[in-house]
Amino acid sequence: MKLIDIQYVLEDWSPISNAEDFDNVGLLVGDPSAIIEKALITLDTTQNILDEAISQNCNLIITFHPFLYKGDDNLKSEEYVDEIIIKALKHNINIYAIHTNLDNNPRGVSFQIAKRLGLKNLEIMMKKDEKENIGMGMIGDLEIEKTETDFLNFLKDKMEISNLRHSNLLGNNIKRIGVLGGSGSFAIEEALNKNIDCYVTADLKYHDFFKSNNKMLLVDIGHYESEKYTKELILNYLNKKIPKFACVIAKSRTNPVNYY
């Protein structure tokens, strides 16, 4: 089928207009009129992902993270970005990004975390432009409240991670949770305003952990770790909307962070 038809399906689900201004979503490399034989779904586009697409006979990569952001002059000059574009063009591989428009989808990235944790009474944490059903992050309640240490173990189990970082334990039980996949330090103040017991996100810096001000537990589970279920989210949606369209999840590990 034509790439433009796949774009229509993705953009009906998560419109480009719902992306953040800094973001670079949509078709990054390729031709909307191209006939797509098979798509590879990934969080990041790397050389290994391109090699996997070639070996799998995929002429479309659907990536969550763009490899190039608007107005980022430093990134535009990076050699690896140029190499990705050149290699994709050489092998007739189209690259399409669906990022913060999927973050802002009410059944998007953060919803996947909330679903894995079994949260109830869900609501959007940060509404975009006061739109009722668009925005980043989710807030919900655990079915049964837990102690802080029990919750941290529960979180590691449900998110399938071996380690995490957190602020000082306060001795409070955890019931109402805020979650935001990816870099979520910008939403700490909003989380505090929502009177939640714990805020789960990623990419928190040293000084960010002070911002909880002993009013809630802050937990950093890692950027890749918070978004790793997004690939299945995209795959399941495409399988539902275009059941005869061939698409697979990339096997290559793209997380640039390693733990020792």
Token pair for residue 23? 């973001």
Q: Which residue has the tokens 């535009």?
A: 76
Q: Name which of 153, 83, 150, 159 is nearest 114 in CA terms.
A: 159
CB-count exposure of residue 88 (10 Å: 0-12, 13-18, 19+): buried
Q: Where are the domains of the chain?
A: 3-102+229-249, 105-227
Rounded Cα distance between 172 and 198, Å, is 10
Give φ, ψ of 94 to 5 degrees.
-90, 145
Residue that the structure tokens 């700490």 belong to: 188
Strand 135-146 versus strand 120-127 pairing type = antiparallel
Say what the pLDDT of residue 75 is: 46
Asked if the domains 3-102+229-249 and 105-227 are classified in one and the same CATH topology, the answer is yes
pLDDT of 71 reads 54
Give one DSSP letter per residue of the chain, joined into a string: -BHHHHHHHHHHHS-GGGS-TT---EEEES-TTPBPS-EEEESS--HHHHHHHHHTT--EEEESS-SS-TT-HHHHT-HHHHHHHHHHHHTT-EEEE--HHHHTSTTSHHHHHHHHTT-EEEEEEEESTT-TT-EEEEEEEEEEEE-HHHHHHHHHHHTT-S--EE----S--EEEEEEEEEE-GGGHHHHHHTT-SEEEEE---GGGGGGGTTSSEEEE--HHHHHTTHHHHHHHHHHHH-TTS-EEE--S--------
pLDDT value for 80: 82
Domain 105-227 top-level CATH class: alpha beta
Question: What Å distances lie between residue 211 and 19, 100, 169, 206, CA to CA?
Answer: 27, 24, 14, 10
Rounded to whole angstroms, the Cα distance separating 185 from 258 reads: 21
Q: What is the pTM of this model?
A: 0.93
- Over the chain (260 residues), the average pLDDT of each successive run of 10 is 97 96 95 97 97 98 88 58 93 98 97 98 91 90 98 98 97 98 97 96 98 96 97 98 96 93
Tokens 């795959």 locate to 235
Q: Is 205:185 a contact under the CB 8 Å cutoff? A: yes
* Angle value at C-alpha 240, between 46 and 252, nearest 5 degrees: 20
- Architecture of the domain spanning 3-102+229-249: 3-Layer(aba) Sandwich (3.40)
> Tokens representing 103?
């973050």
